[in-house]
Amino acid sequence: MNSLLSQIKHLSHQIAAKTIERRRHLHAHPELSFQEFETQKFVKKELEAMGLQAQEIADTGLIVLIEGKNPTKKVVALRADMDALPIIETNEVPYKSQNPGVMHACGHDVHTSSLLGTAQILNELKNEFEGTVKLLFQPAEEKAPGGASIMIKQGALENPKPAGILGQHVATNIPAGKIGFREGMYMASTDELYLTVKGKGGHGAMPDLCVDPIVIASHIIVAMQQIISRNKNPRLPSVLTFGKIEGLGATNVIPNEVKIQGTFRAMDEDWRADGLSKMKKLAEGIAEAMGGSAIFDVLKGYPFLQNDPALTRRMKAAAIEFMGEENVIDLDIWMAGEDFAFYTHHVDACFYRLGIRNEAKGIVNGVHTPNFDIDESALHHGPGLMAWLAISDLNT
């Protein structure tokens, strides 16, 4: 076996207890998006204990360089997100959230502790690789405009400029011990839609004297689905969902207005812009034709996430060397969003998934739920795998 690979495996297992201890500390002390001040301090302190200097960015983020031999030869970036969610944790575990109403329910504590472990391994082995590893500890993945977009604006991908970036995310549908990859389009852009349909309210028995916004809103909702089925290229995945309709009338009261909220997801930036413009035109046109009016507002979210095919193929091959062929799986397209997508539109990227499911232990709950947890055995190989992927990329 490649001696560097076995060295990394050995180190990853050797520091596993420490990695889990860090994950539990972060899990017990979660902070919301853009408020990761204590998390930043903790990560900085851990890095300093390894002899690594961290530079602050995006208020609560950090950037760290680990230089190997010939540091300017090639740079690869590794990213971990650090924020938690406004969820009340229901797990009764020793590391339960001590910050009421805030919970690491998306595994960002896992990503952060795993990247700290990766840093420790790479720092020990810095005479064994050429180039530089740039670590990005990023705030606010969960909240628009996304910490990634701010990190990029503040220069995270410059000086030095990485040739590629890797990110990992826990996967609750993949057993611990397995890793998932996908080349090309992987996750969707996410835009929030806020539509107000204005009419003229009145008595439910006299609709002729009113402009009924409920009926207008109903037409708009049905017609908009046809933008997906009739205007979109059928080879591109896209989703339109309205999850909230509010028309505060009564059985016999036609309200003045109806508010609708939804989400639009796409895997192509041209279609994303085109779809939104068609929706606005259709909503306004239908409302006007029916005697009312519509205001169509969009809160722009993250772009779609594209994994560079060549980099992803190389990383998958390296993961097979580290994990064994039977433990590396292919992923399906997933219509959720992730702000790592911003990086993927600037630099070759590979976002892969770390299995954390364990049915025998009852660890089956999805991310963003109050009883989400992980099989911590994933933290035995997670840090080593990322170190091996980084070194494999630098050595090509």
Active site residue 141: yes
Distance CA 322, CA 340 (A): 24
Q: Which residue is nearest to Zn ion (CB)?
A: 106
CA distances from 153 to 44, 157, 242, 350 (A): 22, 9, 32, 20
Comparison of 271 and 340: residue with beta carbon closer to Zn ion: 340
Q: How near is the Cβ of 141 to Zn ion at its closest, in Å?
A: 5
Round to whole Å and give the CA distance between 250 and 252: 5
67 forms beta bridges with 132
Of residues 106 and 216, the one with the C-beta less far from Zn ion: 106
> Judged by CB under 5 A, which of 106, 140, 216, 240 binds Zn ion?
106
Q: Which is nearer to Zn ion, 108 or 278 (CB)?
A: 108
Q: Which stretch binds Zn ion (CB under 5 A): 100-108, 241-249, 326-334, 383-391?
A: 100-108
Of 24-32, 45-53, 102-110, 323-331, the segment contacting Zn ion by CB under 5 A is 102-110
The arrangement of strands across the sheet holding 348-357 comes to: 54-57, 61-67, 132-138, 75-81, 164-175, 348-357, 179-181, 328-330
Q: Is 284 a catalytic residue?
A: no
CB 66 within 8 A of CB 135: yes
Q: Residue 106 or residue 279: which is nearer to Zn ion going by CB?
A: 106
80 binds Zn ion (CB under 5 A): no
Q: In the complex, what is the shortest distance from the CB of residue 39 to Zn ion, in angstroms, rounded to a whole number?
A: 15
Two tokens at 378? 């994933």
Among residues 279 and 350, whose Cβ is nearest to Zn ion? 350
Q: Please, what is the minimum distance in Å from the beta carbon of residue 88 to Zn ion?
A: 16
Least gap, CB of 70 to Zn ion (angstroms):
35
Q: List the structure tokens of 353.
A: 């998934």
Residue 49, phi then psi, degrees to nearest 5: -65, -25
Give the tokens for residue 5: 């690979």
Cβ neighbours of residue 46 closer than 8 Å, sequence gap 6 or more: 22, 116
Q: Which of 390, 396, 391 is nearest to 77 (CA)?
A: 390
Q: Which is nearer to Zn ion, 157 or 171 (CB)?
A: 171
Q: Shortest Cβ distance from residue 169 to Zn ion (Å)?
A: 6
| Residue 153 Cα to chain centre, angstroms | 18
**What part of residues 37-66 is at the interface with Zn ion (CB under 5 A)?**
none
Q: Which of 81, 109, 141, 257 is catalytic?
A: 141
From the CB of 83, what's the least distance to Zn ion, in Å?
Answer: 9
Site stretch for Zn ion (CB under 5 A), options 89-97, 98-106, 125-133, 203-211: 98-106
Of 106-114, 285-293, 356-364, 384-392, which segment contacts Zn ion by CB under 5 A? Answer: 106-114
Neighbour-count burial of 216, counting CB atoms closer than 10 A to its CB (0-12 exposed, 13-18 middle, 19+ buried)? buried
Question: Binding marks (x or -) toward Zn ion, 324..363, rule CB under 5 A?
Answer: ----------------------------------------
88 DSSP 8-state letter: -
Rank residues 106 and 188 by Cβ distance to Zn ion and give the closer one: 106
CB of 106 to Zn ion, least distance (A): 3
The one segment of 65-73, 101-109, 186-194, 197-205 that binds Zn ion by CB under 5 A: 101-109
Identified catalytic residue from 83, 109, 142, 268: 83
Query: Could you tell me how far CA 156 lies from the centroid of its own chain?
Result: 17
CA dist list (Å): 202 to 163, 197, 219, 289, 384: 62, 15, 20, 20, 66
Which positions touch Zn ion (CB under 5 A)?
Answer: 106
Point out the residues that are catalytic: 83, 141
